[in-house]
Structure formats: structure tokens, C-alpha cells
Structure 1
Amino acid sequence: MPMEPRTNQPEVWKKGQQVVANYNFPGSSKEDLPFKKGDLITIINNTKDVNWYKGKNESGQEGMVPATYLQKRKEVQLHAMPWYHGSITREQAEDLLQFKEDGVFLLRDSVHFRGDFTLSVVYYNKVEHYRVILRQNKLEIDGGDCQFQTLIDLVEHYTKDADGLCTRLLQPLQKKGSSFSAVSVQDFESGGWVISQKDLQIYELIGKGEFGDVYKGTYRNQGVAIKELKDKERAGQAFLKEASVMTSMRHPNLVQLIGVVIGDTIQLVTEFMGKGNLVEYLRSRGRSVITKKDQIDFTDDICSAMQYLESKDLVHRDLAARNILVNDNNTAKVSDFGLAKYGDYSAEGGKFPIKWTAPEALRDNKFTNKSDMWSFGILLWEVYSFGRVPYPRIPLSDVVMHVERGYRMEAPDGCPQEIYNIMMQAWEIDPKQRPTFKQVLEKLNNLRATTV
């Protein structure tokens, strides 16, 4: 028997909307679509009864579904942490807090214990330092009795009660410049994004990265890619931030997040893209296999996704052929949102791929949709050169100098003039002179319609 569903008024859902099951539903007639807790259902149509919809499961089976057993998947939001100062030393923290009032505080990375933190707080003209230990995915003050899921939860607790500290946390010392943000595991749970490890089967390793390895697998008989975090202490928040960005996006040319596994390790589960990344696909097939039609299809797909990100004021910051994946139907999809950020963004001390990054982003660490457009121009060059590395005859150390002096790559052999014109517009030194993705998409749509 299913669990008792919620009794509040159900939400109104639109055709094509994806919802997640909160309870098991065995069905009571042949018209019903049975499902289990955690299943994803796509709404096909509403009915005269607001409590029932026609839905489709991930296997394509259709039937009637009760609204009260389902919930809309919610976007997972990032929470600002203006009091978190990152990797600063004890001495730097004391300098920042010098002459401040009692209860002024900041949090920073632990100098001696990687993955832990230090809470520094002023009390009677002295700065007291407390080690914050990360143990089994929970945070606690060394010697304290309480455990917390996030730094945000910890700070909130000690602003209400000193609970063993020298004083309550009364006023945060805000970090100058761009502040850090965090995401809570509970937000993934309440948003309907957490899936069960037992529903995953992992088969083979298909990719390796700095923080995580990618495996091919299945989720409830659906082919998926599973990105598994290597070092939770070092990069758990970065991993979850990438997932949080993906919860806010739904577009046919963006790799879709299916869910997140939270346990001894963190896993991001996404749709499986059978032909791998675009740069390897271009290099391995070459001119003998890839047609002009394939090239315009790929570029149009990518631009469509980027126009969607642009419309949401989302900056990708790492657009390149290596971060485009191709499925078995030859559809290209933008992936790897590990660096993605809403709005204008400046990153302190970030490492970025020089050959793909706009001059103003390299110079001022300022990333916008217009810097993404510069990267799109480089990506176009990759597509039409069949995966060659950009600036092939220029040493990496000299690329920035050549570009700022006005050098631009020549059109690849066989590249249509219309495409090269878009590249040159994307590489305008003044970001304001570069086109929008919406403007470029209109040109590519026209080219796609006339390319055979």
C-alpha cells in the first residue's frame, strides 16, 4: 500500500513539466501509471480533475497519475557566506579583526588541517580561534556537542547562543570583493533531487577529472553518466554548487541532471551522452565522416544552449569543445557547469584556459556573457578545424600578447565565410562590440536551414 499522500491543494502543472514521486503508487486501474518514490514523471496533459494528470515515466510508459503523490522539483539555491574568508592565515585574520568590537567574527580555512575550518572571533580586545572539524560529512566546533550540515547552520546556531564559545557571534566581518557561497544538502533533499544509491549500477570508467571520475552506468534501466567526487573534504561544496546550477536549467541542448546521491561519497547523475566529448569526436571522425551539415548542427545546438544561459544571466566561463557532449542522435549539449555563475563574476586567483578565455577576463578576472561569446568563437574554430588546438603555431605564453596586438586566427580550411564572420565578430577586443548569442543563433538557424 502507498504511504498516505499529502492532503493540501495540489500545484497546477504545465505540459512537459517534470515532477518527482514522493510516495509509491501501485495504481488501481489499467489507466493508471504505477510509480515508486523517487521516480521522475513528465506531465503530458491535465484533466478535468485537478487531482489527476496524464503522465509519462522515464521508460516512455503513459497513464494517469495522482497529483497529491508528486511534487515539482525545486531549484537549489546558493546561500551567501559573506563572513567566509577562504584561505587566509591566523595572522591575517587577527589583522582584519584588530580593534573590532566583541562578537565580530569570520570563518576561514584551517591552516594545519585540510578540509577543516577555523572560527575567529573578537572577545575583550583579543581574537579567539576555534577549530571547526569536518567529520563524517558533519561540522562541529572542537570540544562542542552540536553537529551541523553546513557552515551556514553553524553560524546561525552560534549567533543565537554562545553554547561554549567565549561570546555569541554578533557581527560578521564581511569579506571584501566577491564573497563565497554555499549550498545545503537538505536543499537537494527538499527539492526532490536526491536519488538512492541502490538504484544505480556503475559499469566502467569513461573519464577522469581533478575532483571526480566519470563512470557509465544505469539508473532504473536508463543509461546515465555518474560523476563521483574523489575528495569530499576538498571539493564537496564545488561539486554541489555545480549540481545546484544544473537544477535551475532545462533545455534540450544542456546536459540534464537526473539526481544527486548523498552518502559516503557524492555522485552527480546526468543523462548519458554516447558519443563522448565533441573535441575527441571531431578528431576521431575527421573530414571523411563529419559533414558540413554535422558542423552547422553542432554549432547551432551549442548556440541555442548558450542563448538560453544568456537569457538567464548565467555565465558558463569554460566554453570549449571538450565541454560539449554528443549523444547517439548526434545532438550536441553543453556540459561542465563547475565554473558557471550567475551575472557578472570576478574570480580571485582562478585558473582558466588561456586560449579560450577573453582578454578582459584574463586581464581583469571579469566574466560575462560577452566573454562566453569570445569562447564560442574559439569553439567555432575548433569545430571547423576538426578539433585542432587553437593558435597552433603560437606558444601558449605568447597567445595573450598576440591577441591584444590584434592577431586573430585565420579561417580553417573549408570553413564557410559566414561562419568565419561570426568568429571575427566574437573576437572583437571591445566586449560591447561582440554580438549576443540571440543574434548569432538567428544567423546559424538560417545557415542550418540552407545547409545539406
Structure 2
Amino acid sequence: MIPLLLLQMSWAAGTQCVAKGDHRKPKPGELAYQKGDFLTIVDTSTKKGYYKARHNTTGEEGLVNSTKLREREALRVDPSLSLMPWFHGKISGPEAVGKLQPAEDGLFLVRESIRHPGDYVLCVSFSGEVIHYRVIYQDNKLTIDKTQYFYNLIDMIEFYSKHKGSIATTLLKPKQKQGTKSAELELSKTGWLLDITKLKQGETIGEGEFGAVYEGEYMGQRVAVKTIKCDVTAQAFLQETTVMTKLQHKNLVRLLGVILHKGLHIVTELMTKGNLVNFLRTRGRSVINSVQLLGFALDVCEGMEYLESKKLVHRDLAARNVLVSDDGVAKVSDFGLTKLDLKVSDNVKLPIKWTAPEALKKEKFSTKSDVWSYGVLLWEIFSYGRQPYPKMSLKEVKERVEGGYRMEAPEECPSGVYALMKICWEQEPRRRPAFHKLREKLEGEVGKCSLSPGAECRDGIRSASGC
């Protein structure tokens, strides 16, 4: 029989766990907690079967017995999960009144205005009546009274749930649209909802298409926070968040949780060296050698092998979506397009230079289309961050690739690595290798590279021998 401790999965620092029972009388050095409390693993311990952990509410640290905890569960991918369960879309005033019965003070919903397209209506029960407040959309902001302005509906509902402002009563109880579930409630129950008051906001480190990314600190840990203010986009990004709750791998950027405050904030570990394409461009050949390039290629391959094992398709693999940690490890990020289904149902703009021909033509996505993208990413790595298909228009790329054209090897690229790129670019998806096969071949390439004694290969210093 296998001892219980051997069955215990080892947890990496940052793993979120839930207490299975109370531990109210801790010994010196141990952490006190109650059943259902959320704890973060900080480090392993010399004491067998124990970890050092931090309490997510109190911030206190101490030793915990691993058998008394379970790992925080992932969220189920559920299309009915909504950040705005109180939003009922295009319904009439009388319909809204009917939904808010029996009338309770503070019961509310939001609907689209039929009389004023583009505006909304906040419908609130008070003193046995339903009051309708027109929400005007003006200069990209929302307002009821032209004194208080909001970026989005989530922001507005959050404000009026705490302050009466110019409406008859604070909002006390949302009337959920039939068929929706509150994302806030599900995130809270599973421990993925973080507390805005524990987040220290730092400087902006990037401007994405959907909002800013800034550096911060959450209960002593350095984090990156992606902010999404637009309601519709925030709802779409809930998909990315749900997928990320399922993923735990050293080569995937780790989700800490989300904050709902003036939109959606996705909180992840901080990757201090930025994205891989900029990392390579700003350092170049004089700083980074082939061994390091192979290391990055292997990191990404291992992350993708893990996604492959989970039957998840990334659909947007490129060097811009790979981040580099403080200690020089590459991790796959941006799971916004990751899906279990293999068809694009959401009119997204596909990154043509990285997308496999069958995915562009027939919207057929699979692990094998990710392998094609990985071939392009390998080309990016070994060209030190150059734009793929240099000097070619997107139309030209599409036509020529379909006709059999493939990029030439980047300058000084090892022949074995270029051979890997070419098998990733096989026209027939079934002829492309799986990620575990690619990893084996890359490990062989790493074995061919010899470093001089004591030379470093991952910290940005070129080895004496090169490769």
C-alpha cells in the first residue's frame, strides 16, 4: 500500500488552499484557521508533511499540516456565469415592474432603454413602487444625475449599493435574470475573489487593447493586474479567468484571483522581465546565446504540453504572449482565446501570421494548430524577436503559405531547430508532432549544446563558448 504522504501532491509557492477543518489552538509557529478559510502556500517546510502558509484574510503566516488542506477548486466553464446577473437586456418598463414583484425596498434590475437607444434604465423598488432612472451614456461615461459619472454598469451598481446618492434607496438585492448565475458569488465561494483593500497599486506597466496592466502588491506578493473596464469585454474575459483557475504549471503564468471593482481586475504573478519578444529585441545576440534561446523554447513547449494534456487549445500562441520571470523562465500567458471547443464562435480577429491554414480557412482549431503557431514562435525566438514573414502583407502571407511557402531559417539558427519549425508547418495537421514529441526533440538539441564549466545559461549572460 502506498503511504498517504506519497499521495500528497507537492504544492508550489502561491498555491491557494482551503482548510478542511478548524485549527483554533495552534502550537508555536503554526497558523490558526477555521474550516473554509483560504490560505496561500508560501514555502515548503523542513517538518514532514507541513508547509509554510499565509492566511488570506488576516495575512498571518505559520506552518500548516498539508493533510488538513485541499487545493482551491477550479471554476467550471459555465456560459451562465455573469458579472451582471441583474442586467436583463431589452425589456419594457411594464415587464421590469412585473419582474420586481413582490416589491421590496432596494430590489433592482438594469435594462436597455427602448425609448432612448444606447442608454440604460435602472429600475428600483421603493415604498411599494418601481422607480425608473434613465442612465445616460455621454462622453463614454454613464450618469443618472450628471454629477456622478461611471465607466460602466458594474461600477455604477457598486456605487449605488453603498451610497444612496440621488436615487430613492441604496440597491440592496439584485433581481437576477433567469438562466444566469452570479459570477461574484461563484468566485467568492471557490476562493478566487480577492479583496481590493489588500491590493497596493503600483505603476502602469502596459496598455492593452482592453485596459491598463499595472504592477502591485497583494498581501506581500508582487503581482500584475490587468484591468478591464468595459462591461461586455469584462464578461468575455471571465472566460479567460475561468480557464486559468484550472491551470497549475511552472511554465504558465499563474492566476492569483480576480477583483470586482469598477470593472474586472485579473491578478496574476508578476513577470518582471516583460514579454519574450521585447526581451529578445532589447538584448540581442551579444547578450543571449543559443542555449538560452533553447531554454525559452523548451519552457514554452512544456507549458503547451501541459495544456495539450488538459485538452485545451490556446489559439493565440506567439512570443508577445509569453512572459519572462525574474529568474529568466518563460511562461505562456494570455488565455483569452483558450477554449475547449475547437471552433471560433466569437468573430475574433485572428493573428494571421501565427495561425495555421486550416484555422484561417475552416476555423478548425486543435492542438495541431497550436503546434503550427509554436513553429512561428520558434522562428521569433531564434530571430531574436523579428516580425515573422518580414516585408510581407497579411494578404500575401495567407496566399503564399496556403500555396506551400515556408519561412527560411533565421540567421545562425541551429539546423535541428529549423527542422523542428518545418515539421510544425506541415500542411496536414495530423503530420505535425504532438508537444511531448517536440519537447523530446528539443531536449536532444539542448544536449548537443555544450557550455564551458561554470557558464550561466539563463540570466542574460552569454556563455564563453556560445553554442
Question: Could you tell me the TM-score, scaled by structure 1's length?
Answer: 0.72
Change (3 A) 1:263 1:26: farther
Give the CA RMSD over aligned residues: 3.6
**Residue 62 to residue 445, structure 1, CA distance change in 2 (3 Å):** farther
1:225 is matched with 224
**Matched position secondary structure for 1:339:** coil
Q: d(CA) in 1 for partners of 2:349 and 2:41? A: 40
Offset of residue 28 of structure 1: 3.4
User: Given that residues 53 and 64 in structure 2 are in contact (C-alpha distance below 8 angstroms), is that contact kept between their aligned partners in structure 1?
Assistant: no
CA contact (8 A) 1:194 1:261 kept: yes
Judging changes above 3 Å, is the alpha-carbon distance between structure 1 residues 283 and 238 closer, same or farther for their aligned structure 2 residues?
A: same
- CA distance in 2 between counterparts of 1:280 and 1:427 reads 24
How far apart, CA to CA, are the structure 2 residues paired with 1:251 and 1:27? 34
Cα separation, 2, equivalents of 1:66 and 1:348? 42
- Code of the residue aligned with 1:196 in structure 2: it is D
Report Cα offsets for 1:405-438 as digits up to 9, x if no partner: 1110000011011110111011111111111111
**Aligned residue identity for 2:444:** N
255-264 vs 12-21, which deviates more?
12-21
Q: Check 1:19–1:284 CA distance in 2 against 1; reply closer, same or farther (3 A cut).
A: closer
For the residues of structure 2 that align with 1:24 and 1:114, how far apart are their CA atoms?
51
CA separation of 1:213 and 1:433: change in aligned 2, threshold 3 A: same
Aligned pairs for 1:60-209 (under 5 A) are 63-65=63-65, 72-80=71-79, 136=156, 148=174, 154-156=177-179, 184-209=183-208
Q: 1:224 to 1:113 in 2, by over 3 A?
A: farther
Report deviation, 1:65: 4.5
Distance 1:115 1:38 in 2: 40
Residues 60-79 of structure 1, C-alpha deviation per residue, up to 9 Å, x if partnerless?
976234866x5531111122
Alignment correspondent of 2:263: 265
Preserved CA contact (<8 Å) 1:213 1:230? no
Q: CA distance change for structure 1 residues 25 and 376 in 2, over 3 Å: closer, same or farther?
A: same
2:393 alignment counterpart: 395
SS in 2 for 1:315: coil
Cα pair distance change 1:62/1:415, threshold 3 Å: farther
Corresponding residue of 2:41? 41
Change (3 A) 1:137 1:246: farther
**Residues matched between the structures, number:** 366
Structure 1: how far apart are the matches of 2:246 and 2:392? 39
Offset from partner CA, 1:362-381 (integer Å, 9 cap, x none) = 11122111111110000000
Distance 1:263 1:269 in 2: 12
1:32–1:146 CA distance, 2 compared to 1 (3 A): closer
Matches within 5 A, 1:219-298: 219-231=218-230, 233-298=231-296
Q: CA deviation at 1:237?
A: 1.2
2: distance between equivalents of 1:113 and 1:209?
Answer: 29
Q: What SS does the corresponding residue of 2:178 show, helix, strand or coil?
A: helix
SS at 1:260 equivalent: strand
Identity of aligned residues (%): 40
Q: Work out whether residues 380 and 387 of structure 2, in 8 Å CA contact, stay in contact via their aligned partners in 1.
A: yes
Residue 368 of structure 1 corresponds to 366
Give yes or no for contact 1:24–1:35 (8 Å, CA) kept in 2: yes
Mapped to 2, the partners of 1:261 and 1:447 lie a distance apart of 43
1: CA distance, partners of 2:283 / 2:113: 49
Residues 224 and 242 (structure 1 numbering): CA distance in 2 closer, same or farther, change over 3 Å? same
| TM-score (norm. length: structure 2) | 0.70
Give the drift of 1:29. Answer: 2.5
Q: Indicate the residue corresponding to 2:333 in structure 1.
A: 335
User: Does structure 1 residue 16 correspond to structure 2 residue 39?
Assistant: no
Question: What is the match of residue 54 of structure 1?
Answer: 50
User: Kindly tell me: are residues 402 and 60 of structure 1, through their superposed partners in 2, closer, same or farther at Cα, counting changes over 3 Å?
Assistant: farther
State the one-letter code of the partner of 1:442: E
Alpha-carbon distance in structure 2 between the residues aligned to 1:291 and 1:239: 37
Match of 1:8 in 2: none
Q: Structure 2 CA distance, aligned partners of 1:72 and 1:80? A: 24
Question: Which of residues 354, 362, 367 in structure 2 aligns to 1:356?
Answer: 354
Q: CA separation in 2, counterparts of 1:274 and 1:388?
A: 22
CA displacement, residues 315-366 of structure 1 (integer Å, 9 cap, x when unaligned): 0010000000001111000000011101423335221111111111111122
SS for the counterpart of 1:203 is strand
Aligned to 2:403: 405
Matched letter for residue 443 of structure 1: K
Alpha-carbon deviation of 1:148? 4.9
Contact 2:229 2:262 in 1 (8 A): no
Over 3 Å counting, the alpha-carbon distance change for 1:66 and 1:427 in structure 2 is closer
Q: CA deviation at 1:220?
A: 1.3
Q: Output the amino acid matched with 2:191.
A: G
From the superposition, tell whether residues 220 and 134 of structure 1 become closer, same or farther in structure 2 (CA, over 3 Å): closer
* SS in structure 1 at match of 2:177: helix
Alignment partner, residue 161 of structure 1? none
Distance 2:196 2:184 in 1: 15
Name the structure 1 match of 2:137: none
Instruction: Look up the equivalent residue of 1:14 and give its one-letter code.
Output: M
The equivalent position to 2:309 in structure 1, one of 294, 308, 311, is 311
CA separation in 2, counterparts of 1:399 and 1:114? 39
Contact 1:236 1:266 in 2 (8 A): yes
| Distance (whole Å) between structure 1 residues aligned to residue 254 and residue 70 of structure 2 | 19
1:122-156, Cα deviation, whole Å (9 max, x unpaired): xxxxxxxxx9x966459xxxxxx99658xxx5224
CA distance in structure 2 between the aligned counterparts of 1:428 and 1:199, rounded to whole angstroms? 49
Match for 2:321: what amino acid? N
Counterpart Cα distance in 2 of 1:43 and 1:295: 30
Amino acid at match of 1:20: C
Deviations 1:87-126 (A, max 9, x none): xx99xxxxxxxxxxxxxxxxx9999756979xxxxxxxxx
Query: How far apart in 1 are the matches of 2:274 and 2:308?
Result: 25
2: CA distance, partners of 1:115 / 1:405: 49
Q: Does the 8 Å CA contact 1:347/1:365 hold for their aligned counterparts?
A: no
Say whether the 8 Å CA contact 1:13–1:43 is kept in structure 2.
no
- Give yes or no for contact 1:38–1:195 (8 Å, CA) kept in 2: no
What is the DSSP-based 3-state SS (H/G/I as helix, E as strand, rest coil) of the residue aligned with 1:155? coil
- The 1-side partners of 2:428 and 2:261 are apart by 47
